[in-house]
Amino acid sequence: MHEIFENLIPNLVSLWKGEFKELDISDSPFVLLPAVWERLGAACVDSGATIPSAFGARVPNIATEAYLFTAEMWCFFALHLAPILLRRKFQDQRYYRHYMELVKIINVCLQFEITDDDITKVREGVVKWVSDYERLYVEYLPERASACPLTIHALLHIPDALEMIGPVWTVWEFPTERFCGILLPAVKSRRFPYASLSSYAADIAQLSQIELKYDLHEQLSLKPESRTTSDEYSYQCDAYPKCMLLGPRRTEDVNKSLHSKIAQCLATRFNVTMATARRHVPKRLQQWGRILRLEGGDLIRAADLISESQNSRDASWIRYQLLVDKNAHIKRAAPEFFAQNFYGQLRTTFVLEIPASEELGTDTTSTLLLAAIYTAEIELTSDSYKLPFYKKMGRLEVVDIASVQCVVGRVYDAARGWWGIIDRSGPYAHAQFVSDGEDMVEDE
């Protein structure tokens, strides 16, 4: 995929800037105005504060600092920033649609698993994309032949490579490059650099084998000891096997409005009246500052308990799923539920102990983990890509933490006055809803 992220995407950016190989393309409809690039560059820089660090490194100003981009940054820009920031920026929207077809192809190639049907889609997609590229950018003009470099032709070989080697993550060079970054500081001698590298690589290999053979991962770890494993800094219960609450922790009174929201959540869950639900919500509740999704999931911060520093990156925005009744607006119609995605900012989390209660219909004491979320009024773009964005915030609501799926990023498009949502999770973070009084569990 480096062929795309270090060649094709930078070439497209050069074309959109009107700087590709000194071609006379300044009047072409795909060249964006300098003012547009100035806003794009500023949006890239500003997005560093509103995109969690788990998404990757901060993206530099693409208008003035494109030379600083790594393959990882090009990848993030191409798949997440560009679809939002480039929308309605071209004079001719055919160029945006053409680019989005490339994004679709890349997303299929980056899937964890890939099928024969996926390879067929990629094969048909790249043939059409290359043909449209020649029509839209080269325009079949001899003087623009240099706008069709070898990297364009190389796209046609991607389906064959997928057939031979499978998903691209099995062979890409990102792990190798990261390992080279680890080795570089090991060079301590200018006279014998290769001896330093060899000794360091041998030491790493020996330690790895010792760790595996004698199960000494924690003892030989060079990372500082984490405090999150102690009861003082973490909380976990059997009803929520895929998440853990982490500090900071505090126990204090909740205000009247939030108390009502929690009661509303209980009333819906146990199908009781608000008056009954309120009696089972104490005024003083334990709150936790972070949610850790286990088994490789995200670390989400609660905005009310963790203050943002000047250089911090916001990890409080989330995607969560709830069951919505299709027939809610039709009187006396039987409910028909479906899972719907929502986005918002996690404000705080609660631990609520529910004793056995005849009013609630519970036989044993249970623990509920709840999340207070400030929702965003999400709209979808009117085109076929259905990008989520919002212009204003909605209400505060309290939901079960099992509904919280993953952390998301945001990027602000100043020209349109909206926030675009960056959700990289794809199909791997969805809630699984079960009926008849069973708890809701996550399926990732």
Which DSSP string corresponds to 338-404?
Answer: EEEEEEEEEEEEEEEEE--BTTTTBSS-EEEEEEEEEEEEEEE-SSTT--EEEEEEEEEEEEEGGGE
Full-model pTM: 0.84
Give me the helices (H) in 32-173, please: 34-50, 71-76, 82-85, 94-109, 116-133, 150-154, 158-165
pLDDT at 303 over 90: yes
DSSP state of 78: I
Side-chain-side CA neighbours of 7 within 13 Å: the count stands at 13
pLDDT tens, residue by residue, 202-241 = 988 898 899 889 988 777 776 665 545 555 688 998 889 9
pLDDT score, position 225: 57
Over range 25-38, report the average pLDDT: 93
Closest CA to 317 of 369, 373, 387, 265: 373
Whole-number mean pLDDT of the chain? 88
Q: Of 21-35, 226-240, 335-349, 369-383, which range is least confident?
A: 226-240
Over range 105-114, report the average pLDDT: 91
pLDDT tens, residue by residue, 178-192 = 788 888 888 888 888
Over range 419-440, report the average pLDDT: 62
Q: Of 193-207, 247-261, 359-373, 424-438, which range is least confident?
A: 424-438
Q: Is the peptide bond before 248 cis (omega within 30 degrees of 0)?
A: yes
pLDDT tens, residue by residue, 385-401 = 889 999 999 999 999 99
pLDDT score, position 328: 76
pLDDT at 348 over 70: yes
Q: How confident is the model at residue 2 (pLDDT cuts 50, 70, 90)?
A: confident
Q: Of 33-47, 167-181, 255-269, which range is least confident?
A: 167-181
Closest CA to 73 of 95, 50, 48: 48
pLDDT score, position 226: 54
Tokens at residue 376, please? Answer: 């965003």
pLDDT score, position 391: 95
Q: How confident is the model at residue 93 (pLDDT cuts 50, 70, 90)?
A: very high
Give yes or no for a contact between 25 and 40, defined as CB atoms under 8 angstroms apart: no
- Strand-pairing partners, residue 373, are 346, 397
Closest CA to 402 of 234, 229, 237: 237
